[in-house]
Amino acid sequence: MKKYLPQLLTLIAFALFFSFSGALHAKDLKGKAHDFTLKSNSGKNIRLADLRGQVVMLNFWASWCGPCRQEMPLLDELYSRYSGAGFTLLGVNVEADSEAANAVLKEIPVSFPIVYDTTSKVSEAYDVDAMPSSVMIDCDGNMTYLHRGYKPGDEKAYKTHIKALLRSCSR
């Protein structure tokens, strides 16, 4: 038994990590969302403050991020499903050169707007330290939820938050 103890402890540690990792990577937020204006993939500028009255999800991503690529089609499904109800999703690419992002968008086309944070000022304002990271903003412009990273099934939590925020906006 003693010779298997290190492996058993390692297995238990991994099990605990993966059981709680979702909780460690998601948290409720409070406070006003930081306003910004960024150039979009349509060529027009998008200002966050102009989206007041809608539920907004900011999804920070990079071309080199595998989980970001995996998540994008699922985010596009959420956008397609809830955009008519007052939901907007902005994909915020965090790279200095937008060409890598554009190459990914040719491979994985999405219908939601992509904006380019080439100077990292928006990423810094939102304390982005993991890829992908998503911030939910209510219709009054308040941050409500932050989720770092992505693993399959996380989109269920996004859907729950989107629906709750849409309900609170219609009151």
Residue 58 — pLDDT band, cuts 50, 70, 90? very high
Q: Which of 16-30, 73-87, 108-122 has the lowest mean pLDDT?
A: 16-30
Q: What is the mean pLDDT of residues 48-73?
A: 97
Give residue for tokens 């939820």. Answer: 145
- The reported pLDDT for the residue numbered 11 is 36
Q: Which CATH superfamily is domain 26-169 in?
A: Glutaredoxin (3.40.30.10)
Residue 30 — pLDDT band, cuts 50, 70, 90? confident
**Stated pTM of the model:** 0.84
Q: In 3D, which of 106, 151, 97, 119 has the Cα closest to residue 38?
A: 119
Q: How far apart are CA 15 and CA 110, in angstroms?
A: 35
- The reported pLDDT for the residue numbered 13 is 37
Q: In Å, how far are 55, 139, 163 from 169, measured between CA atoms?
A: 8, 6, 10
Q: What is the mean pLDDT of residues 31-35?
A: 94
Torsion over CA of 120, 125, 128 and 133, rounded to 10 degrees? Answer: -100
Can you give the residue ranges of every domain in the chain?
A: 26-169
Q: In 3D, which of 95, 91, 76, 79 has the Cα closest to residue 46?
A: 91
- The reported pLDDT for the residue numbered 169 is 87
Instruction: For the chain, give the mean pLDDT.
Output: 87
Which residues lie across from 55 on neighbouring strands?
Answer: 87
